Structure 1
Amino acid sequence: MSFKSLEQLVGAFIEQNAWHEQPLQRVVKCWSDVVGAAVASHTRPLAIQRNILWVATSSAPWAQNLTFERQRILTKLNPYVLEPLTDIRFSTAGWQRSQTNNKETPTKNNHPSYVATAGSRENNTQASTQNPRAAFQHWQETTRSRSQGLPLCPQCQCPTPPGELQRWEVCSFCVAKRW
C-alpha cells in the first residue's frame, strides 16, 4: 500500500470537476435534457440509493411507460454522473404537483450558512495547491476575506452569516451546543 502526500490528495480532489456536487443534484440538472421537456414535466428525480435512481411520476401510466424506457434513459444519463446508475424506479409515490409549482429545488443559496462570494476562486486554486504552505495561506486569506463584514454572533463574538442569525439568533456552533 503506497501513501500519497497531502499535496497529491488535495490536487486530485480539486481536479475533480464535480467534487462539490451531490449525485442527485447532477441528475436534476440534466434530467430535462436527457428525457425531454414533455417527460420532465411529468417526472421528478427524488433520490439515489445504492446506485438506483428513484423518480416520481405524475400518474401510473407515466410510471409504466417510463419503466419500459429505463435502459435507454440510463444510457443517456450515466455520462452525467460520477458513479454509474444501475437502475431507475418510477413510481407515483412522492409526486406532489403543487409542491413543484410553488417551490424550487433546494440550492446552497437557501442554506442559512451560505455567504455569496465575490469573484471566482478557481483562478488561484491550481497555483496555490502546488505547495501545502501556499494552499493553507490561500485558504486562510479566503476565509479571512469572507468573514470581513459579517455580523458577530452575540454569544461567541465570531463572524456569522446573516442567515444563521436570522434562523437561530446565534451562529451554527453555538446553536449546536444547545442541542
Structure 2
Amino acid sequence: MSLSDVRQIVERIQAEETWKHRRQFLQVIKHWEAVVGNNVAVQTRPSGIYRQVLQVAVSSSVWSQALVFQRRSILAKLNPLLIGSAPPLADIHFSTAKWASLPPKVTKTEVVDSAKAAEPTELMQKHPSFVRSPQPVIKTPASPPETAIEAFLRWSNAVKQSTAHLPRCPCCSCATPIGELQRWQMCRTCARQRFFYFNTTPEEESPAPSNRLPKDPR
C-alpha cells in the first residue's frame, strides 16, 4: 500500500461524524494564541470541548475570574476560524482543575534552548566516530516514495551523499570518520569484527559468516 493510499484513508476517517469535534478542538488549539494573545495563552490551555462548551485550564483562579468576563469576545473571534460542519462553540468554561495534569506548553525560547542542548559536547567530539566535517545539503524529493523499496533507495542515496566527503576504510572501502582511522586504521565495523574474532578461540568462533555484524550503509 502506497503512502497516497494511507493519506486517503486518513482523510476518509477525518470526514466521519465522530471526528467533527476532534477536528474542531485541533483548530481551537491552532488559533488559540492568535485569538487571546501571547500573555493569556501562556496562562491558559484548551483541554477539550463538551456539549459545545470549550474547556480551558488556567494557571490560577485570578486568571479564571478575569477571563470569564472576556469569554464572549473570545468566542466572537474564535468561532469564525473554526472551519467544518461541527456546531459553533456556545460558551467557554475556565477552571484550574486540569492545569497541573496538562503537559507544559513549549515556548520558542525552550525550542532554542533544546537545540543548543543537542549540539555535540566536548566528550562527544572526542569520540573517534564523531564527524567534524560539515554535512552537505541533501535535496529532498517533492513527492513521497510510492513503495518501501523506493524509500530504502532514497535513504541509501542520502547516506551516500552525506558521507561522500569522508575517507575510505582500507578493508571494506566504506566511508569512515577520520577518528576511527586514526585509532584502529579501519572503520569501527571492521575493527569490531577483526578484534572480536581475533580474541576468540576456535570453539567460540561461529562457522557461519552470517552471524557477523552487518556493514554500515556508508
TM-score using structure 1 length: 0.47
Higher radius of gyration, 1 or 2: 2
TM-score using structure 2 length: 0.39
